[in-house]
């Protein structure tokens, strides 16, 4: 039986992971759960899965969680950065599912790697910010990193059994989001409630906005570069509105291997935490007789965030961390209606242009965290001027 820690258990990936655990109680046990603010749902999860440890964002929420639980509940409750690290390094845990949103996932993931825990990686920001460092340390510690994102899971599956030297390109598919067919002249009127209506996937607010801007796909490009040790020039993005082909890999003989399935995260999650087994999830198969699969190139002019991510990937060093931090601040501001949809990439671009990038081969964790903090402050100052 595999013992799990689920970082971000109240989010979309966390809830789907617990759904898989519930289907296979003889295969998985939950030892640690973490959340940020949703103490009511976390309390329900604690009652159902009986972890040894639960962690929330701060002391106030820790007290609120205690009040939500029966007095007889036998769970240790911690809070803050150290609490998240303790969940990631819990002595009984075999696999850490990193489903936290944003840069907050980096330090717990590194802590888990240091203690030899395998990682089921959903927090793409970990590799966006510190990909070389994370992958190097994982290799040194003998830690497996299994991708949970449907696209990277598809690439992982399409690479299995094939020689790395035969690889030609990675083709990341993207749904195109809710504004794929909307004219760019209409983008200034887009409201958060419009951007939160994703056509094919059910996700949290931040990643749904990233999908609407195509920033999510840009972050996945950076993640794929590190996860699969390829050059940026070997990665391309293709728009596939049906979200049935989760991604593809082409080889030098012209062969293309793809992984297909319905747009549901449980398949990728289950494969990451059960590898190399495939669990009998009883997921429906796409009805190929009734659907048409279409593909098109992304529009970099309509969706400049995708180009900004490619630029950050090409520059390297601290620039991806700056891109990610500025995006997090800009998305939060858009959701709060402080900036418009078209100002979102403007904030990111101006923050990147103001950054003195550090591309040292000896880039440290503190260098990355300093760049992250600088970019958040810079983006917030830019937003005040807009």
What pLDDT, in 10s, does the model give residues 241-251?
Answer: 999 999 999 99
288 shares a domain with 165: yes
Instruction: Assign 233 a pLDDT band (cuts: 50, 70, 90).
Output: very high
**Structure confidence at residue 104 (pLDDT):** 87
Q: Is the dihedral of CA 273, 276, 278, 279 positive or negative?
A: negative
CA separation for the pair 368, 377 (Å, rounded):
14
142 shares a domain with 12: yes
pTM above 0.95, yes or no: no
**Structure confidence at residue 205 (pLDDT):** 87
Q: What is the DSSP letter of 299?
A: -
Q: Is 70 exceeded by the pLDDT of residue 202?
A: no
Lowest pLDDT segment from 144-158, 200-214, 324-338: 200-214
112 shares a domain with 88: yes
> Torsion angle, CA of 318/308/243/127, rounded to 10 degrees?
0
**Structure confidence at residue 362 (pLDDT):** 87
Instruction: Assign 266 a pLDDT band (cuts: 50, 70, 90).
Output: very high
Q: How distant, in Å, are the alpha carbons of 12, 64, 206 from that of 203?
A: 6, 26, 8
CA separation for the pair 296, 109 (Å, rounded):
35
241 shares a domain with 170: yes
> Torsion angle, CA of 366/232/175/99, rounded to 10 degrees?
-30
Mean pLDDT across 103-118: 95
125 shares a domain with 23: yes
**Structure confidence at residue 44 (pLDDT):** 97
Number of domains in the chain: 3
Mean pLDDT across 145-166: 97
Q: And the tokens for 138?
A: 């994982």
Q: How distant, in Å, are the alpha carbons of 3, 4, 44, 281 from that of 49?
A: 12, 11, 9, 20
227 shares a domain with 193: yes
155 shares a domain with 111: no
**Lookup result for tokens 């009998």:** 280
336 shares a domain with 201: no
Using an 8 Å Cβ cutoff, are 256 and 168 in contact?
Answer: no
Q: Is 90 exceeded by the pLDDT of residue 201?
A: no
CA separation for the pair 170, 154 (Å, rounded):
10
Where are the alpha helices (H) located in 57-202, listed in sequence order? 59-68, 80-88, 106-114, 125-141, 150-159, 192-195
Instruction: Assign 137 a pLDDT band (cuts: 50, 70, 90).
Output: very high
- Host H or E run for residue 33: strand 28-34
**Structure confidence at residue 358 (pLDDT):** 93
157 shares a domain with 142: no
252 shares a domain with 370: no
325 shares a domain with 224: no
- Whether a cis peptide bond, with omega within 30° of 0, leads into 276 is yes
By residue range, what is the domain housing residue 196? 149-264+283-299
Using an 8 Å Cβ cutoff, are 111 and 74 in contact?
Answer: no
Q: For all residues of the chain together, what is the average pLDDT?
A: 96
Q: How distant, in Å, are the alpha carbons of 60, 69, 273, 360 from that of 43?
A: 15, 6, 23, 45
**Structure confidence at residue 198 (pLDDT):** 78
Percentage of residues in the chain having pLDDT higher than 70: 99
Q: Is 90 exceeded by the pLDDT of residue 305?
A: yes
Q: Is 70 exceeded by the pLDDT of residue 384?
A: yes
Using an 8 Å Cβ cutoff, are 308 and 344 in contact?
Answer: no
Q: Is 80 exceeded by the pLDDT of residue 34?
A: yes
110 shares a domain with 26: yes
Q: What are phi and psi of 170, to 5 degrees?
A: -105, 130
């Amino acid at each position: 039986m595999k013992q799990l820690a689920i970082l971000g258990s109240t989010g979309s990936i966390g809830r789907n992971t617990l759904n898989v655990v519930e289907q296979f109680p003889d295969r998985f046990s939950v030892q640690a759960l973490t959340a940020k603010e949703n103490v009511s749902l976390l309390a329900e999860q604690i009652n159902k899965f009986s972890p040894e440890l639960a962690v929330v964002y701060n002391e106030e929420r820790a007290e609120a969680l205690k009040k939500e639980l029966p007095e007889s509940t036998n769970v240790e409750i911690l809070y803050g950065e150290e609490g998240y690290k303790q969940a990631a390094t819990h002595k009984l845990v075999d696999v850490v599912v990193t489903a936290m949103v944003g840069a907050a996932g980096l330090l717990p993931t590194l802590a888990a790697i240091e203690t030899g825990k395998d990682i089921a990686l959903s927090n793409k920001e970990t590799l966006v910010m510190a990909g070389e460092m994370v992958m190097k340390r994982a290799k040194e510690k003998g830690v497996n990193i299994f991708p949970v994102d449907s696209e990277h899971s598809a690439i992982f599956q399409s690479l299995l059994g094939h020689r790395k030297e035969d690889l030609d390109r990675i083709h990341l598919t993207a749904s195109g989001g809710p504004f794929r067919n909307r004219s760019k002249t209409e983008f200034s009127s887009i409201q958060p409630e419009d951007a939160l209506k994703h056509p094919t996937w059910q996700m949290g607010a931040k990643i749904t906005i990233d999908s609407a801007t195509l920033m999510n796909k840009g972050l996945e490009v950076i993640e794929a570069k590190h996860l699969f040790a390829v050059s940026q020039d070997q990665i391309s993005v293709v728009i596939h509105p049906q979200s049935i082909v989760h991604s593809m890999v082409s080889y030098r003989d012209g062969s293309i291997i793809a992984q297909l399935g319905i747009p549901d995260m449980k398949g990728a999650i289950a494969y990451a935490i059960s590898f190399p087994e495939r669990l009998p999830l009883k997921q429906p198969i796409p009805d190929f007789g009734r659907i048409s699969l279409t593909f098109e190139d992304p529009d970099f002019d309509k969706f400049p965030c995708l180009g900004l991510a490619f630029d950050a990937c090409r520059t390297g060093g601290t620039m991806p961390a700056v891109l990610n931090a500025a995006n997090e601040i800009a998305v939060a501001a858009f959701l709060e209606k402080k900036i418009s949809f078209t100002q979102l990439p403007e904030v990111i671009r101006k923050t990147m242009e103001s950054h003195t990038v550090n591309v040292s081969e000896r880039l440290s964790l503190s260098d990355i965290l300093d760049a992250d903090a600088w970019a958040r402050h810079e983006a917030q100052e830019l937003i005040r001027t807009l």
